[in-house]
Amino acid sequence: MTTFPPGFLWGAATSSYQIEGAAAEDGRLPSIWDTFCATPGKVDNGDTGAVAADHYHRYREDVGLMTELGLGAYRFSIAWPRVQPLGSGAVNQRGLDFYRRLVDTLLEQDIEPWPTLYHWDLPQPLEDAGGWPERDTALRFAEYAAIVHEALADRVSHWTTLNEPWCSAYLGYATGRHAPGRREPAAAVRAAHHLLLGHGLAVQAMPEARVGITLNLTHVTPASTAEQDLDAARRIDGMQNRFFLDPVLTAAYPDDVVEDLAPITGFDHVQEGDLKTVAAPIDFLGVNYYSPMLVGHGTTPSPSAYVGSEHVRQHDGGRQRTSIGWEIDARGLLDLLLRLERDYPAIPLYITENGAAFEDEVHDVARVAYLDGHVRACAEAAAHGVPLKGYFAWSLLDNFEWSYGYAQRFGIVHVDYATQRRTLKDSARWYADVIRRGGL
């Protein structure tokens, strides 16, 4: 039997725009994702999050599913455009009330609420004013964080500021694959800094809360020992991992990455004292892991998310892939966790997302295999002394998978979008069993 440390937290995760629907209800106004979805050609099949899994109306039923699975915690995100529809100024109590109801329903079931304050749904007026490349957005975010914290502090103990700032910055502003769909590499670097600054300011705005940040990290391997390939791996590890880990945990940007970026942008948007703010002490680090990266020197389709390293090419690692095309490698998760423990010791870690997209099947053998392998990697990491405290499966429900729309299904619970009927997949039953037994 594979065992986990006592108190290990088992959860599942979702995010607001991907499941809530009710896009124009109770005072919610558009976010950058509403605008992006309404732009022809941006999202597969013209899908939008307007209805999604209708969780806004069905949250009680969904909490019922969580109870059935035995979840210890539920990670969800709060929609800024519900709480502060213009991104600044007036607070919309009806928006906050939804999260009050959700949190109370969770607590009644002994499920710990794990809110994330920002999972990509920036209020459109803030993008109209320049978005994350503008410093003011970081200040607005801290103000919003304080509003939500004040409303829920008596009921929520663990808070996450941002989900995957790498995606917000580099997919949102460099490749344009995500909202707001801009292709401005230098702006993307500024966006990354202002996201980090917003994180630090938000931590400071939530005194006495236990706060963390969720990063999408990966294990990077060079395609060969040739110098150019080693350099490619250093660059991608720099942009994907260290560019976020170092400021948050050590109050500095990695010098080599700053140098790689020099042809694109200087760092004069970083003001004195910013890095001290970014590194405001946090209580845990959330890690989202899906797939490893094998990289070498070559050419990449333009525009690249790896600003300043456009000559790096991702190689085929020859492994099986999920339906979204991501290679499956649980060993990469173990290597990543061991590396985090080595390079950034002592910070408690939670896997805040891990999961797989597969075809539309309730008997999802492949998803069970994926989750099984990755949960085993977690157990092994913990056995090696990695301070891993919990695991959240992505995702509780099939949902709106960003630019892929509804075609890619990550849920352990199936959603029939025509009827909104929920059905537990085999992976959900498997997961309930893992939770009940406290391991594999």
The CA distance from 368 to 370, in Å, is 5
Query: Based on CB atoms, which residue is closest to ligand FCB, 223 or 328?
Result: 328
User: Residue 301 carries which DSSP code?
Assistant: P
* Structure token digits, residue 342: 């080595």
Q: How many CA atoms lie within 13 A of 415 on its CB side?
A: 26
Size of the site for ligand FCB (CB under 6 A): 12
Site for ligand FCB in 283-302 (CB under 6 A): 288
Among 121, 127, 353, 364, binds ligand FCB (CB under 6 A): 353
Query: Based on CB atoms, which residue is closest to ligand FCB, 82 or 119?
Result: 119
Catalytic-labelled residue, pool 353, 359, 361, 401: 353
The reply on whether position 20 binds ligand FCB by CB under 6 A is no
The reply on whether position 244 binds ligand FCB by CB under 6 A is no
Q: What angle (nearest 5°) sits at the alpha carbon of residue 235, between those of residues 232 and 238?
A: 150
Stretch near ligand FCB under the rule CB under 6 A, chosen from 121-129, 162-170, 184-192, 262-270:
162-170
Question: Between β-strands 293-297 and 312-314, what pairing exists: parallel, antiparallel or unpaired?
Answer: antiparallel
Q: Which helix (H) or strand (E) holds 379?
A: helix 365-383
User: Residue 154 carries which DSSP code?
Assistant: T
The reply on whether position 402 binds ligand FCB by CB under 6 A is yes
The reply on whether position 410 binds ligand FCB by CB under 6 A is yes
The reply on whether position 260 binds ligand FCB by CB under 6 A is no
Q: How far is the CB of 174 from ligand FCB (least distance, A)?
A: 16
Residues 6+ positions from 352 with CB-CB distance below 8 Å: 13, 75, 114, 160, 163, 214, 286, 287, 288, 392
Among 116, 216, 304, 427, binds ligand FCB (CB under 6 A): 216
Q: How far is the CB of 394 from ligand FCB (least distance, A)?
A: 5
112 is catalytic: no
Helices 135-152 and 185-205, packing angle to 10 deg: 30
Give catalytic residue positions.
353
| Sites of contact with ligand FCB (CB under 6 A) | 15, 18, 163-164, 167, 216, 288, 353, 394, 401-402, 410
